[in-house]
Structures are given as structure tokens and as C-alpha cells.
Chain A
Amino acid sequence: MKGIRVKFIGLLVVFALSIWALYPTYRLYSVLPKQEKALKDRLTRATSSDDSAQVAVEVAELQNVKAGVHKRSLNLGLDIVGGMQLTLEVDKSKLSADEAADAGDRALEVIRNRVDQFGVFEPVIQKVGRDRILVQLPGVDRERAKNLIGQTAQLKFQLVQEERATYDALKTLDDKLKSPLAADTTRQTAKSDTAKKVQADTARLAALFDTARMDTGLAVTGQPEEGTLLGYVRTIGGDFAVDERDYLEFKARLALARPSWPAGYEFLFGPSEVHEGGPGRRLYLLKTEPEMLGSAIKDARPAPYQGSEPGLANTWIVSLKLGRKDAAVFAQVTGRNIGRRLAIVLDNVVKSAPVIQSRIPDGNAMITTNDVNPDESRDLAIVLRSGALPAPVNIVEERSVGASLGSDSIRRGILAAVVGSLAVVLFMIIYYSVGGVLAVFALVLNIFFLLAVLAGLRATLTLPGLAGIALTIGMAVDANVLVFERIREEMRSGKTNLAAVDTGYARAFVTIIDSNATTIITAIALYFVGTGAIRGFAITLTAGLFINVLTAVFVTRWIFDWWLSRFHVGKLRV
């Protein structure tokens, strides 16, 4: 009996792991929507603008939590939840061979950059083949998606305000915001962990300003209070920044204060980047009026540094060429602003903010990266060219499914599946009595493990995926039927309970292995040849059948053995 105990403990461990893998999924689909709805209700009931501002901030907080949970849960495909899928093809007909070479990469960069700001959960942005791009935007409707993808990229060069001015601007905003937010004390006491984090950030910020005070004579009066904009701010490489988890919340608060932004200036963020303190985004205060547009760039290439500065030896730079007319403008801009920073802004995201070192008279500029790795310079060159050389994309495939259609068919599908499964459960229990109960147990375990594995693989469940699960369930039922029919045959030939179970399983095992193996072979062929939808089918089927062998053959067998050896069972009824 010792062996059995080990097996059951093993099974329990797998079971616990499965619960752990599925918990985020449970939260995502049952807990979080309720909280979301509660917030929405509050928003409709809100009586003052302060109230709705408060709710907007809480919505942003919830979105953050949701984003975190989303990353660890089983996602439903576009054909189930609704959303938009686009396949884009880069139109190279009007580009020269040289321009066409990385047109796909430029288009990808532009689209990724935009979707990233858009706050879509689990977007898929992939290059398929050489110049096709697949974009999946769950839960996004057609108009929004088209707006997002359809526009041509906007590349601008904007002057960066110095840190002190940024700090002052944030401080002013905080003073203006103070009254409504400070009024809501209940929320702040409830969120003690946030408060702690804010205190830690505040300490970091204070340390920064201790040194800053010495350099620039910046006067900091006291520490920033929690719940203020400054309370969120930390630094990345000398720039102000916010933690990724605070980004949406901070952005919402900043947007609320928009009327009080310094006139002629705007706040923009950098892309998400990982730094010592975890992922975050840099925050810049920029002059709204651009100094120059992206169309000024004639070419931008990554190149190794060839100058004489010893500190830059072996590093990579981006070499920039400007058109004749634009070179004159650039000479003026650079001449007037030596020592200041000029931000390269693609679709309202600050991609880089190099310091202007000297006046550039001839339109041949260089951006140093201080990096021996060419990646950064290559990425930046793509960004610069994407503004200069638009890579036009055509939509070759488009699918949108309204969420209402999705939810309607889901509800009916679930009802049908539940009714059908209950019918099978009843039938199996009536027909095989004890054996039927075991078979149903094995079936439930099978589905549970399968969902856990899919969640663990971060797979996306689509309709063809559900078809794969349906086939798995069918074969699981069949496996048990094979076993029980075999045991019955052995019992009829006069064997004892134990012997009948033994031979029954042994004989049926060969059949089950062969039939599952053949089906897995088909599934694997489908996986390697098929496209997205067929792959979903292949993955669920393959995983399901492996689990099927475990649950239908081994687990029921262990329970049978345990039951027969532990209790005095009369004539076995399966």
C-alpha cells in the first residue's frame, strides 16, 4: 500500500499546482469583472467632478491589477471574446529596393509603438513571413483599431524642459489637485501598502533632490506628500520616471490636471523600460511646438563610432542625414540650444532625448548611444526612418467580432456543453455504477489539468481549441468504456475481481495507447503545418490526450486497486 500512497500524494501535488496555475484565470473572469462593474456604477452615480476624477484614478489602478493577472491566466481568443484581427502587408511597390529592405521592421515598430500606448491587454503583434504583420487586439472595436493602425506615423523633434522646470510644473499641479484628492482620506488609509511604497519613493526622491539642491540651488520645501503626483515620481538615469505599475494611474491623474499644465508645454512618456528599480517609463516636459518634423530626415543608419573621443571608442552611433533646406533649420535649432536636449518623439512617445553637443551646420548629425551593442542604435535608426520613410501598409485580412455576438454564443455554448456533459455523466453512472463514478472523476480531472496546462503555457483558447477539448473528452470517455467493457468480459469468463481489473486494464491499455498515439501524431502534423486556428486545435488535443492517458488509465486504476484491496467488495459491478 505504500506505493499507492506515494501515487496519491503525487496526484495531490499535481492537483495543487493546477489550482495555482488556474487561480489568476479565476480572478480574471469572476472577481475582477465584479469590481469593474462596481466602479462603473459609482461613476454613473458620481455627483461631482471630484468624485468622477477619484473613480477614474481607481479605474486606472484596477486596470493595472488586471494587466498583471492577464499575464498569468488562460486567455480567450478573439473568436470568443470579440475584438479585432488584422493582417497587414507592407506595400513596397512605391519604395526603392534600399528603402524596401527594412520596410517591414519600420511598420512593425510604428504599430507596436502605438498599440503599446493604447493599453490593449495581450495584443499580438507579429511579423509573419517577410512583410506581413499580424495584429490581434482583443476587446477593441473596429473604429478604434482602424484609427490606431490606419494613420501614418508622426515623428517630431521637440525640445526638452530642464528637470527643475519639470519639478516645478509637477509641484504646481499637485497644489491645484490637492484639495479634491486629500478630501478622500478613507481610500488612502485603506491602501497601506501603496502608502508604504510611496514613502519609499519619496525618500529616494528626497535623496535625489539633496544632491540637486547643491548643484542647482533647487529649493525643496519638505517631502512630497503621498497621493500627489510627485509622490509617484522616481528617477531613471537622471530623468524623472514612474513605475510601470503606477503608469496608468499617474497618467490618469496627470490628464486630470491638464488645464493647469504650463502653457506651450506638454508631458509625454518614454517607452516602458526595465531599470534597477523594476520596469518604468521616463517622464518628460516638452515644448509642444516641434522644432522639426520627421520628414526632415533623409536617412538614418546605425554605424560604429569613428571619432577621436576615447570614451566612445567601440560604441555605436546613429548617423543622420538631413535634406538641404532642413539642414539650415537644424543648424539654427542646434546652434541656439547647445547643452539642451532634443527629444525624438514618435506618435507621442519619447524614443530618445539626446543632448545637443554643438551646432550642426551641414545636416550630417550623429547621435551617440554609449553602447558597444548595436541594438539600441539600430532600433533608434528604425524609429528615425519610420518618420521619414513611411512604410505604407495594406490590410489584407480583417476580422472583427462584436463582443455581444461573442458573449451570446458563449452563453449558449456553455449551456449546451453543460447539459450534454450532465447527460453523459448520468449515463455513465447508471451504466457502470462504481466504474461510472470513477470515469466521471477521471474526466473532471482531465479537463481541470488540461485547463491548468493551457494556462501554464499561456495559451489562448479559441473555438478550434474548444473543438480539441471536445475530442479529448470524447476519447477520455472512450478510454473508460474500453476498460470497463474489457473488465466485464473478463468477469464473464469467471475471473476474480482483482484479476479481472488487472487483465482488463492491461489489455485496454494497449488499445488506448495506440489510439491516443495515432491521434497525437495527426495533431503534431497539424501543428507544424497549420495556421493559428488549426494550431490551437492541435495544442489542446495533444495536451489533452497526454493527460487522458494519465487520468483515464492510471488514476482510475490506482483508485480501483485501493478500493478493492481496502474494502471487502462482493461481485464487482462495473
Chain B
Amino acid sequence: MRLIPETHFDFAGRRWFFFGLSAILALVAIGSLVFRGFNYGVDFTGGSLLQIRFAERVSVEDMRSALGAVGEGGATIQQDENGDFFIRVKPKDFGGQETFGTVLSRQLSTAFPGNTFEVLREETVGPQVSKELQGKVLLAVAIGLVGILIYVSFRFNFQFGVSAVFSLIFVTLIELGFLSITGMEITMTVIAALLTVIGYAVNDSIVVSDRIREDVRKIRKESFLQIVNRALNETLSRTVITGLSVLLVLSALLLLGAASIKDFAAIMLVGMALGTYSSVFVVANMVVEWEQRFPSKRRR
């Protein structure tokens, strides 16, 4: 069985169209990051998160007034399709062994007599810890990128190294923009998804770069642009098949998984598309543009 026939798309020839498209995407992402920012979870802001399940459904308004009674009227309240409440408050010292959970539990038992509830989850993160975490995530990603730059520059050349890293920054940026626009809560799970996306994007960039490198060595008659086009067309069937396989798994997770897994799958889905797009339209095209402006000595 074969899905993809031999193709002859002129990917590299239309590179300026795609540079433009990428630039617009990047601008939208940056705009959202600047003006909307993130919906940080308690991991990053500090504070408390409670997940509460009632035996009988309770309305958001009633919950809000119960929160007002304990001096947390400004809390963020979300209710999912099962009626579970997700309540977030800023860091605060409730004194002694008391936490937001114990204080609210007491209030809820008086406010809703006859309705039982269960605190499914309580997370409290101090402001100090959350600040450290932010720094660590950024540092980890930065060091990872430097590692990739060095390895790719060594195995391929500097142009590929820079292009690969640039493409990863692009993917991360757009993905962050996506998180900002959708207002998805930034939790550790989201960070894990983001790292996974970066992993896939690296993989895609390398596969494409590798084929270009091979064809450059093998074929001497054609121009660099033609060779890149050939390489991209040759790897197209692999790109589609792999993409399809991952898509199958992710759609299953998206349709059947629990809430936290859905977020993960959504981020991955966007990230997969981005990684594939960027391996072709950012990495390959950057290398072409670079080669056209500053032809390397190896190719005469």
C-alpha cells in the first residue's frame, strides 16, 4: 500500500511566502504573550489549588459566596463537566496548621448542609519555590538548545545547527503563543508536553537535514535549491506516515483521556504540526537562503 506518490513540490522556491507566514505566526504569538500573558498554574505563581467534588451539584454562584465568607471572594473558580470545582487562590498564610483546604472545608460543610463533598486534590506552592521553578525550566531549555547547536554543528555544519536551533525557538514560541491564546493553565504536565514537542521538532529537523546532507554529497549536477527540494520530496512520505501515526494516538488521547491528558494531547497535536512545518519551511528554507547568500566552499 502506498499513500504518497512521487512528488515534485517546489518547497524551497516559495520560501519567502513561508518566511512571511512564519513571521506572522510569530508576531501573533509574541503579541499574545505580551498582551495576554499566561494562565500560570500554582506551580509557577505560588498559591493553592483545590479540586472539590460534591455529591449533589453546586452552582458557581453558591461556591463564590462560600469563598467570600472565608475572605477569598477573589478566587478563580472553574467547574468542569462533572461539576468538579477547581479553585485557585493567591499565596496566603492561614495560620498554624490551617490551610486553604481545611478553612474552606469547614465553611463548605456549614454552607451546604446535607450535601457531602470530597477534596480530591490540594496543591499549595510557596512563592519562593515557584520562582525557582520558572528559572529552572528556562535554564533547562536553554542548555538543551546549546547542546543541540553544538551536536548539529559538529555532525552537519554550523548552518544546520543554527537553523535547527532557530526552528526549535520558533516552535516553542508559537506553542507558547497557543497556550497564551487558549488560556490553558501552565502546569508541570504542560511543561512535559512542551518538552515532548521540542523533542519531536528536533527529530523532524534532523531527518530533513540528514536527507539534504546525503543528497548534497550524492548529487553534484543540481543546484543547492533543487537538491533541497528533492530531499524534501523524498522525505515527504515519511513525514506524512509518521505524522499520521502520531495523529492516531493523539486523537485517541484527546477523545478518551481525562482532562489533564486532553490538555497534553492538544499541545502535542499543535506541536507535531508545528514541528513538521518548521522542519520543512524553517530549517530547510533557512539553509537554502543562507547557502544562496554565502555559498559554502565545499560546493563548487
Chain A residues with a Cβ under 8 A of chain B? 87, 89, 142, 146, 150, 395-402, 404-405, 408-409, 412-413, 415-417, 419-421, 423-424, 427-428, 430-433, 463-464, 467-468, 470-471, 473-475, 477-478, 481-482, 485, 488-489, 507, 510-511, 514-515, 517-519, 521-526, 528-531, 533-534, 537, 541
Add 11 more A-B contacts to A412-B258, A475-B200, A518-B206 (CB < 8 A). Answer: A398-B123, A416-B253, A416-B257, A420-B250, A428-B245, A431-B3, A464-B189, A464-B192, A477-B246, A510-B214, A522-B199
From B122, B200, B246, B261, give the contact of A400 (CB < 8 A): B122
Question: Does B119 belong to the interface (CB within 8 Å)?
Answer: yes
Question: Does B121 belong to the interface (CB within 8 Å)?
Answer: yes
- What chain A residues lie within 8 Å of B118 (beta carbons)? 402, 404
- What chain A residues lie within 8 Å of B235 (beta carbons)? 485
Q: Which of B9-17, B20-28, B133-141, B174-182 contacts A (4 or more CB under 8 A)?
A: B133-141
Question: Does B159 belong to the interface (CB within 8 Å)?
Answer: no
Question: Does B186 belong to the interface (CB within 8 Å)?
Answer: no
- What chain B residues lie within 8 Å of A397 (beta carbons)? 124-126, 129
Residue of B at shortest CB range from A405?
B120
Q: Which of B31-39, B56-64, B146-154, B287-295 contacts A (4 or more CB under 8 A)?
A: B146-154
Residue of A at shortest CB range from B195?
A537
Residue of A at shortest CB range from B97?
A150
Q: How far is the CA of A449 from the CA of B242 in the complex (A)?
A: 23
With contacts A463-B192, A525-B144, A537-B195 taken as known, whether A398 is within 8 angstroms of B124 at the C-beta atoms is yes
Q: What is the predominant secondary structure among interface residues of chain A facing chain B?
A: helix
A and B contact pairs by CB, cutoff 8 A, 19 listed: A399-B123, A420-B249, A431-B1, A431-B241, A463-B192, A467-B189, A467-B195, A474-B245, A477-B242, A481-B238, A485-B235, A511-B206, A514-B210, A518-B202, A519-B199, A529-B140, A534-B136, A534-B140, A534-B192
Q: Lowest 9 CB-CB distances: which A-B pairs, in order?
A: A420-B252, A396-B126, A420-B249, A464-B192, A416-B256, A409-B258, A529-B140, A522-B144, A515-B206
- The answer to whether A511 and B211 have CB atoms under 8 Å apart is yes
Q: How far is the CA of A430 from the CA of B248 in the complex (A)?
A: 14
Question: Does B116 belong to the interface (CB within 8 Å)?
Answer: no
With contacts A398-B99, A511-B210, A521-B148 taken as known, whether A427 is within 8 angstroms of B193 at the C-beta atoms is no
- The answer to whether A471 and B256 have CB atoms under 8 Å apart is no
Chain B contact-residue range equals 35 or more
CB distance from B27 to the nearest CB of A (A): 27
With contacts A400-B122, A421-B249, A471-B196 taken as known, whether A518 is within 8 angstroms of B242 at the C-beta atoms is no
Q: How far is the CA of A404 from the CA of B244 in the complex (A)?
A: 34
Residue of B at shortest CB range from A400?
B122
Q: How far is the CA of A428 from the CA of B3 in the complex (A)?
A: 12
With contacts A470-B196, A522-B202 taken as known, whether A477 is within 8 angstroms of B245 at the C-beta atoms is yes
Among B189-227, those with CB < 8 Å from A are: 189, 191-193, 195-196, 198-200, 202-203, 206-207, 210-211, 214
CB distance from A56 to the nearest CB of B (A): 27
- The answer to whether B249 and A409 have CB atoms under 8 Å apart is no
- The answer to whether B196 and A467 have CB atoms under 8 Å apart is yes
- The answer to whether B252 and A530 have CB atoms under 8 Å apart is no
- The answer to whether A514 and B206 have CB atoms under 8 Å apart is yes
Q: How far is the CA of A398 from the CA of B128 in the complex (A)?
A: 13
Q: How far is the CA of A88 from the CA of B40 in the complex (A)?
A: 23
Q: How far is the CA of A124 from the CA of B201 in the complex (A)?
A: 35
- The answer to whether B195 and A534 have CB atoms under 8 Å apart is yes
- What chain A residues lie within 8 Å of B258 (beta carbons)? 408-409, 412-413
Q: How far is the CA of A435 from the CA of B171 in the complex (A)?
A: 32
- The answer to whether A525 and B137 have CB atoms under 8 Å apart is no
- What chain B residues lie within 8 Å of A402 (beta carbons)? 118-121
From B123, B151, B211, give the contact of A517 (CB < 8 A): B151
- What chain A residues lie within 8 Å of B146 (beta carbons)? 525
Q: How far is the CA of A423 from the CA of B248 in the complex (A)?
A: 6
Q: How far is the CA of A306 from the CA of B208 in the complex (A)?
A: 75
- What chain B residues lie within 8 Å of A427 (beta carbons)? 244-245, 248
- What chain B residues lie within 8 Å of A412 (beta carbons)? 256-258, 261
- The answer to whether A395 and B124 have CB atoms under 8 Å apart is yes
Question: Does B44 belong to the interface (CB within 8 Å)?
Answer: no
Residue of A at shortest CB range from B121?
A401
- What chain A residues lie within 8 Å of B128 (beta carbons)? 396
- What chain A residues lie within 8 Å of B124 (beta carbons)? 395, 397-399
Question: Does B188 belong to the interface (CB within 8 Å)?
Answer: yes
- What chain B residues lie within 8 Å of A514 (beta carbons)? 155, 206, 210
Residue of A at shortest CB range from B194?
A467
Which of A430, A475, A481 has the most chain B CB atoms inside 10 A of its CB? A481
CB distance from A424 to the nearest CB of B (A): 5
- The answer to whether B251 and A420 have CB atoms under 8 Å apart is yes
- The answer to whether A515 and B207 have CB atoms under 8 Å apart is yes
- The answer to whether B147 and A409 have CB atoms under 8 Å apart is no
CB distance from A439 to the nearest CB of B (A): 10
- The answer to whether B193 and A467 have CB atoms under 8 Å apart is yes
